[in-house]
């Protein structure tokens, strides 16, 4: 479990794409139990009808989890 008061001092990588006309999805790695060795993060996403709203939601969520910032990666370059 992450203590929200301690900073991860890291970057959350995410992509934003239009999946259907007027429907946008941000994909990013989800949370994993950091106490377990060799645990990969599960993929997670957020969907909305406004790309700036989806982007803001992910950035606020990341800040709340202690990330320094979100790095938005082009969907063509996705190897999250």
Query: What does the H/E/C string look like for 34-56?
Result: CCCCCCCCCEEEEEECCHHHHHH
Q: What is the pLDDT of residue 78?
A: 63
- pTM of this structure: 0.74
Is the Cα torsion angle 4, 57, 79, 73 positive or negative in sign? negative
Q: What is the pLDDT of residue 26?
A: 97
Question: What does the alpha-carbon distance between residue 10 and residue 2 come to, in Å, rounded to a whole number?
Answer: 13
Residue 2 lies in a domain: no
Number of domains in the chain: 1
Residue 4 lies in a domain: no
* Contact criterion met (CB below 8 Å) for 43 and 78: no
Per-position pLDDT tens, the chain of length 80: 444 445 556 999 999 999 999 999 999 988 655 555 555 667 899 999 999 999 999 999 999 989 999 999 998 876 54
Residue 79 lies in a domain: no
Nearest by Cα to 8 from 73, 63, 46 = 63
Residue 63 lies in a domain: yes
């Amino acid at each position: 479990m992450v203590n929200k008061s301690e900073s991860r001092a890291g970057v959350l990588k995410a992509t934003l794409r239009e999946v259907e006309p007027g429907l946008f999805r941000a994909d990013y790695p989800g949370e994993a139990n950091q106490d377990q060795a060799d645990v990969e993060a599960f993929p997670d996403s957020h969907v909305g009808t406004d790309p700036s709203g989806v982007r803001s939601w992910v950035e606020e969520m990341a800040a709340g989890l202690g990330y320094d910032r979100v790095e938005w990666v082009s969907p063509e370059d996705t190897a999250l």
